[in-house]
Structure 1
Amino acid sequence: MITYVFPGQGSQKQGMGSELFDEFKELTALADEILGYSIKRLCVENPYSNLNKTQFTQPALYVVNALSYLKKIQESAAKPDFVTGHSLGEYNALFAAEAFDFETGLQLVRKRGELMSMVRNGGMAAVMGLSEEQVAEALKENHLHTIDIANVNAPYQIVISGQKEDIEKAASIFEDITEVTMFLPLNVSGAFHSRYMNQAKQEFEQFLQSFHFSPLSIPVISNVFARPYTNESIKTTLSDQINQSVKWTESIRFLMGKGQMEFEEIGPGHVLTGLIHRIKKDAEPMPR
């Protein structure tokens, strides 16, 4: 069995998709029409360093991931057994599973990126060396009640999310913990996957009401539940994903529990491939 995994924010890089835009001219033109700017120029030239701004990053990654998937399907002619994506990448998993077409996915992602980019003064940091339970305990013991766990990326790579000054305050606390191998502030403008996204979530929930989703043709593992989506829950799961934590470790363990499973990253970079390697090393498959 094989699972295709789609990367999210953090995997963007200048030059991504450069070989795809001319191959998929019609979809590239459609993306330009929806976005109101050239997606090729954004990805290849990165004017004004826009590629690292959330409202641009999300549509850019969605388009490159989607075109990468279409090229992969052309070449292999076989569809994966499962799909999943990290945060923004979950939209590409749903696109691959035919929940919506390319155009609809891009409209959703553009709105999501705009709403998330409006939440200012947030920060995120990766804590390496502690488990999710140990991070939660450290936050509690040190009265860092304003910080949430945003991503459980690997058994000992946990991302925390909160107001910028609170994340800065947490740095010295975590750096003093013996088991912590690294405290790495992330290059983001907002406290994604935390309570600070509650308003963005509510507005996105409203926005989703006007869309219709088709039954899934491939099982999609959700970030929120680390279990397959149900057709009835697509809208609520997508809005919940904005302010809930990304259960990446549990999602991969669930898939590992399905039997002999291979994973292939579709899109720019190898961030998820590295995380999956660590999960396989440090965690057991979920019991069937």
Structure 2
Amino acid sequence: MTAYVFPGQGAQFSGMGKELYEESAKAKELFDKANEILGFEITKIMFEGTAEDLKETNVTQPAVYLHSVIKALCADEFKADMVAGHSLGEFSSLVVAGVLSFEDGLRLVAQRADAMQKACEINPSTMAAVLRLDDAKVEEICAAVAEETGEVVVAANYNCPGQLVISGSNKGIEIACEKMKEAGAKRALVLPVGGAFHSPLMEPAREQLAAAIENTTFNEPTCPIYQNVTAKPSTDVATIKTNLIAQLTAPVRWTQSVQNMVADGATSFVECGPGKVLQGLVNKISSEVETSGI
């Protein structure tokens, strides 16, 4: 069985989508439609902007979404037995599985980016990558720091064994990083991100996104979607909505999602979108599967 996976924020690069735009009439039509929906020329920033230009949350998220979804919609052969997306990538997977239209998916992603940006301004916060430390130990340290200091510190992205991203207040993350190193982590490195994604500090964004999701049409998926919040396959529309709303304040269980997809029969993982980050993570999670990209 073939699983299609979609990357999240951080996979962007300068010039992304330009080749697709120039070579495919369908891609050009979709990119042009995106400019209209967003109310600014995102294609100009994607094709000609600097890495710094692409870092803005209100640009990054729609840009990665567009690159991923348009690649999938323009692929000659696209037959997914199951899909999953990392954080933002979950929206791409929902479009490809027929749950959301291209237009509605883009509108939700734009609203998500706006809501997250506002939440970051309300609560200055950050994230850090912890390498080569057992997941249970990372969770234990996060809980201990939170209890001792009253700061927010949680496990946010279970990327692969030995790579877990934590999220929280600036002070909480600083203290947690020191304790992770003391506990034997190879590295505990603060990331250059705008805020504490996938933590309780994103609650204002969750509320804003929830209202947008409730006002959007969701359809039955054409294949199971392994959602970040549960790492389990979803086909029920109400469940998909609930998990999508919870995603902003809950951890991304990527390791567990891939493990469950493999257990359910996935033998091949195809990454659809910019970069090869997910292929690398999948290979670290399971050595038995094939990985490729389109």
- Confirm or deny a common fold (TM above 0.5): yes
Q: Which residue type is aligned with residue 12 of structure 2?
A: Q
The equivalent of 2:176 in structure 1 is: 170
Q: Does 1:135 align with 2:138?
A: yes
2:80: which partner in 1? 80
d(CA) in 1 for partners of 2:53, 2:243: 29
Spell out the pairing of 1:22-33 with structure 2 (5 A cutoff).
22=22, 23=24, 24-33=27-36
Aligned to 1:57: 60
Q: Give the letter for the 2:171 counterpart.
A: E
CA distance in 1, matches of 2:248, 2:142: 22
Within the alignment, does 1:126 sit opposite 2:129 as a pair? yes
Q: How many residues align?
A: 278
> What's the % identity of the aligned pairs?
38
Contact in 1 for aligned 2:99/2:221 (Cα 8 Å): yes
1:211 aligned residue (216, 219, 231) = 216
Q: Which residue of 1 aligns with 2:157?
A: 151
The 1-side partners of 2:51 and 2:238 are apart by: 41
SS at match of 1:254: helix
Q: Partner residue of 2:254?
A: 248
Q: Is the 8 A contact 1:7 1:271 kept in 2?
A: yes
**Alignment-derived partner of residue 98 in structure 2:** 98
Query: 1:124–1:159: 8 Å Cα contact kept in structure 2?
Result: yes
Q: Please give the alpha-carbon distance, in whole angstroms, between the structure 2 residues aligned to 1:164 and 1:60.
A: 27
Give the alignment partner of residue 196 of structure 1, picking from 178, 198, 201: 201
SS of the residue 2:19 aligns to: coil
CA distance in 2, matches of 1:249, 1:48: 28
Q: What letter is aligned with 1:182?
A: R
The corresponding residue for 2:291 is none
Shift of residue 166, structure 1, vs aligned partner: 2.1
**What is the TM-score with the length of structure 2 in the denominator?**
0.90
Cα distance in 1 for residues equivalent to 2:179 and 2:73: 46
Normalising by structure 1, we get a TM-score of: 0.92
Unaligned runs of 5+ in 1: 283-288
* 1:9 counterpart residue number: 9
Q: 8 Å contact 1:224–1:247 — kept in the other structure?
A: yes
- On the 8 A contact 2:14/2:51 being kept in 1, the answer is no
Distance 2:266 2:32 in 1: 40
AA aligned opposite 2:259: R
Structure 2 residue aligned with 1:232: 238
Q: In the alignment, is the contact (CA less than 8 A) between 1:41 and 1:47 conserved in 2?
A: no
1:39-68 residue CA offsets vs partner (Å, 9 max, x unmatched): 221112225923111111111111010111
1:80 Cα deviation after fit: 1.2
- Measure how far apart 1:25 and its partner are: 1.7
CA distance in 1, matches of 2:94, 2:266: 23
Question: Please, what is the CA RMSD of the aligned residues?
Answer: 1.7
Q: Distance in 2 between matches of 1:184 and 1:231?
A: 38
Query: What is the rounded CA distance, in whole Å, between the counterparts of 1:85 and 1:10 in structure 2?
Result: 13
Q: 1:241 to 1:140 in 2, by over 3 A?
A: closer
Q: 1:164, 1:89 → 2: CA distance?
A: 26
Tell me which stretches of 4 or more aligned residues in structure 1 moved more than 6 Å.
Answer: none
In the alignment, residue 28 of structure 1 is paired with which amino acid? F
Q: 1:266 aligns with which of 272, 277, 294?
A: 272
The residue aligned with 1:285 is none
Q: Measure, in 2, the Cα distance between the counterparts of 1:47 and 1:41.
A: 11
Pairing 1:275-286 to 2, within 5 Å after superposition? 275-281=281-287
**Structure 1 letter corresponding to 2:258:** I
Structure 1: how far apart are the matches of 2:193 and 2:262?
A: 31
More displaced 10-residue stretch of structure 1: 15-24 or 195-204: 15-24
